[in-house]
A and B are shown apart, each in its own frame.
Chain A
Amino acid sequence: MLLSPNVVEIILLSLKVTTTAVLAGALAGIPLGALLGLYSFPGKRLIVALVFTCMGLPPVLIGVVIYLMLSRSGPLGSMELLFTPQAMILAQFLLVTPIIIGLTMTAVQAKDRSYRETAKSLGASRPQMIWTIIKEARRGIWSGIAAAYGRAIAEVGAVMLVGGNIEHHTRVMTTAIILETRMGHFTEGLQLGLVLLLVSFAFNSVLMLGMMEQLRAYRR
């Protein structure tokens, strides 16, 4: 059972779905988080409150909303994405993006105003200044990405709803664990759980190693 071709296929799909969702979440979430952390504007408090609320959104709720939107009678039904890996990526994207926004914002805010002013005084344009502060806050941002990755890969409710747990198509580690447990195959369920834990540990270690390496060889 452990690392059979079937399990490998499930692991690879899990990694593909989660990595794509987290990458997309980082691309959207880091700039948004930096803007929220650096600038004040009308309505910011409301947006920040919404972001923090969404950081704790129940995944199953996201799943239901996406399910309704992608189902045949839903507004995006014509795209025929329900029960596909793309729908699962979308669900995880909505799950992780608020986490990345919120933790990026906190990391950027933790950098004193003097960092921004130093960059400005050295002649940074606005985008250059924002990029400098993002780099300066990168430890906190990496932590946000690691937290988001952990949440996404361990998530079950949303991917089960929008993916459907279809064998060789949308079955990922968490949904496979549920299936094995429901069928009374507790040993297989636990083995998959162990694999999930190892994969998560390995990925987070790579993330952390990358962060440490970047810290050493950092070039501005």
Chain B
Amino acid sequence: MTGLRIHHLLVSAGNREILRIEQAAFATGRIHAVVGPSGAGKSTLLRAINLLERPVTGHLYFWEHELSLAAHSAAQALAIQRQMVLVAQQPVMFQATVFDNVALGLRYRKIDKQTIAAKVTRALERVELASIAKQQATTLSGGEAQRVALARAIVLEPRLLLLDEPTASLDPYNVTIIEQVIRSLNREQGTTVIMVTHNLAQARRLADACLFLHKGQLVEMSDADTFFRSPRSAELQDFLSGRMIC
């Protein structure tokens, strides 16, 4: 069943087209990997879905919601934004404890203190960081910060989880934990995941479906097996085989 669709998305900076997608659909409860060379528009796609970009045109069908990406009110955006979270490649840690960082989104939703305490503790346990709940978040290592950012996202139980290279430049231990959390969240809660990654092995391990972006265009989108075994386009074949794309 299709939960999330994008139609006629066009993002540009001045006269330069950054991303153009005529149509893309993301199935509910599946993990989607977005791959492609640098500058292909992968992060822009996530930012557009998360309503952090104002595209020239575009329409978002977010389950029962429908929204013009180019022109919408703050209230419309908030209603949808509160059902998804974006975890950035280099997540921002606010000047507060780890606990308070993870609790932030729940406080925005005016959840009561007891529920917040229970949920935050559970989320930190999932990323194996419950022991540092009282530590200042700005003092964390890169791997810890990424796991806290993931906890901060999953504590909100989002319908859609957007991950922008969540394990880039992390050590294998942190990568394993993050992948486990993504997989279990997807299986247990049916969370739909869209994950940008440069790591093709990771895409193979985690994704049910894959998208290939190249020069701001959606070149190919299919289930993971087909994507890796029988790529249709020459660009994707070149990309998967490690040949440079100009």
Q: Give the contacts of A112-132 with B (CB-CB under 8 A).
A: 112, 114-115, 117-126, 128, 132
Query: B109: which A residues are within 8 A, CB to CB?
Result: 123
Contact mask for chain B residues 122-162; partner A; CB cutoff 8 A; 1 contact, 0 none: 00000000000000000000000000000010001000000
Tell whether B88 is near chain A: CB-to-CB under 8 Å.
yes
Chain B residues touching A, range: 20 to 34
Most chain-B CB neighbours within 10 Å: which of A118, A119, A219, A220? A118
Contact mask for chain B residues 57-88; partner A; CB cutoff 8 A; 1 contact, 0 none: 00000000000000000100010011001101
Select one of A118, A119, A123 contacting B88, CB under 8 A: A118
Chain A residues touching B, range: 20 to 34
Tell whether A136 is near chain B: CB-to-CB under 8 Å.
yes
Contact A115 B94 (CB under 8 A): yes
Query: B95: which A residues are within 8 A, CB to CB?
Result: 136, 215, 218
Query: A117: which B residues are within 8 A, CB to CB?
Result: 52, 86, 88
Q: Total number of A-B contacts with CB less than 8 angstroms? A: 62
Give Cα A115 to B95, complex, Å.
11
Contact B92 A122 (CB under 8 A): no
Minimum C-beta distance from B69 to chain A (A) = 15
Query: B105: which A residues are within 8 A, CB to CB?
Result: 122-123
Q: Give the contacts of B89-111 with A (CB-CB under 8 A).
A: 90-92, 94-97, 100-101, 103-105, 107-109
Contact B74 A114 (CB under 8 A): no
Contact mask for chain A residues 178-192; partner B; CB cutoff 8 A; 1 contact, 0 none: 000000000000000
Most chain-B CB neighbours within 10 Å: which of A120, A122, A124, A219? A122
Contact A121 B108 (CB under 8 A): no
Nearest-CB residue, chain A, relative to B93: A118
Minimum C-beta distance from B81 to chain A (A) = 6
Query: A126: which B residues are within 8 A, CB to CB?
Result: 74
Nearest-CB residue, chain B, relative to A137: B95
Q: Give the contacts of A195-220 with B (CB-CB under 8 A).
A: 215, 218-220
Contact B100 A123 (CB under 8 A): no
CB within 8 Å for A122 and B104 given contacts A114-B88, A117-B52: yes
Query: A132: which B residues are within 8 A, CB to CB?
Result: 94, 104
Contact mask for chain A residues 137-171; partner B; CB cutoff 8 A; 1 contact, 0 none: 00000000000000000000000000000000000
CB within 8 Å for A128 and B96 given contacts A117-B52, A120-B52, A122-B85: no
Minimum C-beta distance from B94 to chain A (A) = 6
- Could you jot down 18 A-B contacts, CB within 8 Å? A112-B92, A114-B90, A115-B92, A119-B108, A120-B52, A120-B81, A121-B50, A122-B85, A122-B152, A123-B78, A123-B85, A125-B108, A126-B74, A128-B108, A136-B95, A215-B95, A220-B101, A220-B104
Measuring CB to CB, which residues of chain A are less than 8 angstroms from any residue of chain B? 112, 114-115, 117-126, 128, 132, 135-136, 215, 218-220
Top 6 nearest A-B pairs (CB, nearest first) are A122-B105, A123-B82, A118-B92, A121-B86, A220-B100, A123-B108
